[in-house]
């Protein structure tokens, strides 16, 4: 034992999925250890098991008889933006479609104008409380995308804002190629591939490239070109696809072994089959279903077909103002028909896999000691609770960062 060992005790239930990506029926397979203890050494889990079998240690931390689950991973956010979309919201609830607002130069394009006018420091100040809210709800690792840059400088400004918050919130940065310019899109895609992606890879400002593949955004062929450039520059890639129309993005992403395909509200049997036959994670975003009134992504059908499903907030000003990763988990149970156990797996090991991370999200020896102590002795309150926070304390690398 070293001076940094801590034995966490008085855990009513220690609940965890198996480490690594879980597909199909295995998503519902959790380990639940009653009256458990958890030994942390140098920020990593060294031992878990029944309290009665715990190894002796110098320092003990009594968690007060509540349930412990892994820290949540939020695999899809757009947490950096300036301005707001409150006028869009009012128009939408009175019947104007999201895609029509975008086609008229509003929506995402209005967030681009406001974000383009903000400094890095302003973007950091705007994003920090949003990330704090996700953290308070249980997110111990969060993906954040660029994508509101009108030009390449603005995209890199967003990535610098993410970089400034990276250590504080354990962020994974993604370059999002979001909407094409109204003129010169061929030239734009060429410059993305030949200038922006190599630059971002060289400076280390992003680990992954994402594309919005949709009728109002990029075509499948343009997406393919961008993926090829990401691969050539040794970056991961993932995709926004099938949000409004299934135009072939999911099939392309599975063919090219993307980390994940996200949204899937318009996916049908062909897309479900492609995901089930691939190693690509299907990331569903129930906040979008709630906020835009879209059909729910077929979470139940994806799992039944054998796919690996993850869940994220998609926190953004236009389609999902959901500031709680726990709420995304709880909504996936209601809207996408996941069981509570599947939803926990979706928000932990499968979300980690959607980010290419294998060192966290399961409470087993060797993993990062990122975990949550709930208010409740029964872990299922995590999936049950709507509108209050069932997470009492958040631990990252074994340190309590929120009491």
Residues that bind ligand NIG (CB under 6 A): 78, 107-108, 111, 212, 240, 243, 288, 314, 316-319
Is the distance from CB of 147 to CB of 176 less than 8 angstroms? yes
Subset of 303-332 contacting Fe ion (CB under 5 A): 314
CB 69, min distance to ligand NIG, A: 26
Is the distance from CB of 324 to CB of 389 less than 8 angstroms? yes
Residue 179 or 374: the one with the smaller Cβ distance to ligand NIG is: 179
From the list Fe ion, ligand NIG, none, which binds 312 (C-beta under 5 to 8 Å, kind-based)? Answer: none
CB closest to ligand NIG, residue no: 318
Residue 299 or 318: the one with the smaller Cβ distance to ligand NIG is: 318
- C-alpha 209/C-alpha 200 separation (Å) is 10
From the list ligand NIG, Fe ion, none, which binds 57 (C-beta under 5 to 8 Å, kind-based)? Answer: none
Residue 319 or 376: the one with the smaller Cβ distance to ligand NIG is: 319
Q: Is 115 helix (H, G, I), strand (E, B) or coil?
A: helix
- The number of residues in the chain equals 403
CB 196, min distance to Fe ion, A: 19
From the list ligand NIG, Fe ion, none, which binds 107 (C-beta under 5 to 8 Å, kind-based)? Answer: ligand NIG
Residue 314 or 370: the one with the smaller Cβ distance to ligand NIG is: 314
Q: Which residues contact 40 (CB under 8 A, 6 or more apart)?
A: 5, 6, 7, 8, 46, 369, 398
Residue 78 or 368: the one with the smaller Cβ distance to ligand NIG is: 78
342 binds Fe ion (CB under 5 A): no
Look up residue 64 and give its two tokens: 């007060």
Beta strand residue intervals within 90-201, DSSP E = 139-145, 171-177
CB 286, min distance to Fe ion, A: 13
Query: Which CB contacts under 8 angstroms, 24+ apart, belong to 149-153?
Result: 149/112, 149/115, 149/116, 150/112, 150/113, 150/115, 150/116, 151/116, 152/191, 152/195, 152/196, 152/199
- The number of CA neighbours under 13 Å toward the Cβ of 218 is 29
CB 148, min distance to Fe ion, A: 11
Residue 188 or 371: the one with the smaller Cβ distance to ligand NIG is: 188
CA distance readout (Å), 161 to 48, 76, 125, 155: 37, 17, 9, 10
Residue 78 or 135: the one with the smaller Cβ distance to ligand NIG is: 78
From the list ligand NIG, Fe ion, none, which binds 288 (C-beta under 5 to 8 Å, kind-based)? Answer: ligand NIG
> What is the DSSP code string of 33-72?
EEEEEEEEETTEEEEEEEGGGPPP-S-EEEEEEEEEEEPE
From the list ligand NIG, Fe ion, none, which binds 390 (C-beta under 5 to 8 Å, kind-based)? Answer: none
CB 307, min distance to ligand NIG, A: 20
CB 78, min distance to ligand NIG, A: 6
Buried residues in 36-70 as b, exposed as e (16+ CB within 10 A): bbbbbbeebbbbbeebeebeebeeebebeebbbbb
Residue 224 or 240: the one with the smaller Cβ distance to ligand NIG is: 240
CB 208, min distance to Fe ion, A: 13
From the list ligand NIG, Fe ion, none, which binds 218 (C-beta under 5 to 8 Å, kind-based)? Answer: none
From the list Fe ion, ligand NIG, none, which binds 188 (C-beta under 5 to 8 Å, kind-based)? Answer: none
Buried residues in 278-291 as b, exposed as e (16+ CB within 10 A): bebbbbbbbbbbbb
The residues of the shown chain that bind Fe ion, judged by CB under 5 A, are: 314
């Amino acid at each position: 034992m070293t001076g940094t060992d801590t034995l966490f005790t008085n855990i009513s239930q220690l609940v965890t999925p198996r480490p690594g990506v879980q597909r199909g029926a295995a998503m519902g397979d959790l380990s639940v250890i009653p009256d458990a203890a958890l030994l942390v050494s140098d920020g990593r889990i060294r031992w878990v098991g029944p309290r009665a079998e715990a190894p002796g240690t110098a320092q003990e931390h009594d968690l007060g008889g509540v349930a412990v689950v892994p820290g949540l991973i939020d695999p899809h956010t757009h947490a950096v933006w300036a301005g707001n979309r409150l006028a869009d919201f009012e128009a939408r609830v009175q019947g104007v479609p999201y895609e029509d607002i975008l086609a008229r130069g509003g929506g995402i394009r209005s967030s681009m104008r406001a974000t383009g006018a903000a400094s890095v420091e302003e973007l950091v100040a705007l994003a920090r409380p949003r990330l704090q809210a996700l953290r308070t709800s249980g997110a111990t690792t969060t993906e954040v995308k660029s994508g509101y840059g009108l030009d390449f400088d603005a995209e890199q400004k967003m990535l610098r804002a993410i970089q400034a918050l990276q250590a504080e919130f354990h962020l994974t940065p993604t370059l999002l190629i979001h909407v094409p310019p109204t003129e010169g899109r061929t030239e734009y895609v060429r410059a993305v591939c030949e200038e922006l992606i190599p630059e971002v890879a060289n400076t280390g400002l992003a680990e992954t490239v994402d594309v919005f593949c949709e009728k109002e955004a990029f075509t499948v062929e343009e997406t393919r070109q961008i993926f090829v450039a990401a691969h050539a520059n040794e970056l991961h890639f993932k995709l926004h696809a099938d949000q409004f129309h299934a135009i072939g993005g999911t099939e392309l992403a599975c063919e090219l072994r993307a980390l994940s395909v996200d949204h899937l509200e318009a996916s049908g049997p062909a897309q479900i089959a492609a995901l089930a036959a691939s190693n690509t994670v299907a990331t569903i975003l129930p906040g979008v279903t709630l906020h835009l009134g879209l059909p729910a992504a077929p979470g139940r059908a994806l799992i039944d077909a054998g796919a690996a499903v993850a869940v994220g907030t998609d926190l953004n000003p236009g389609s999902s103002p959901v500031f709680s990763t726990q709420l995304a988990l709880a909504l996936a149970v209601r809207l996408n028909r996941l069981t509570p156990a599947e939803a926990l797996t979706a928000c932990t090991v499968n979300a980690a896999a959607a980010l290419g991370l294998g060192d966290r999200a399961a409470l087993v020896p060797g993993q990062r000691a990122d975990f949550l102590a709930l208010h409740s002795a029964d872990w299922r309150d995590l999936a049950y609770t709507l509108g209050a926070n069932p997470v009492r304390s958040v631990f990252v690398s074994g340190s309590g960062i929120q009491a």
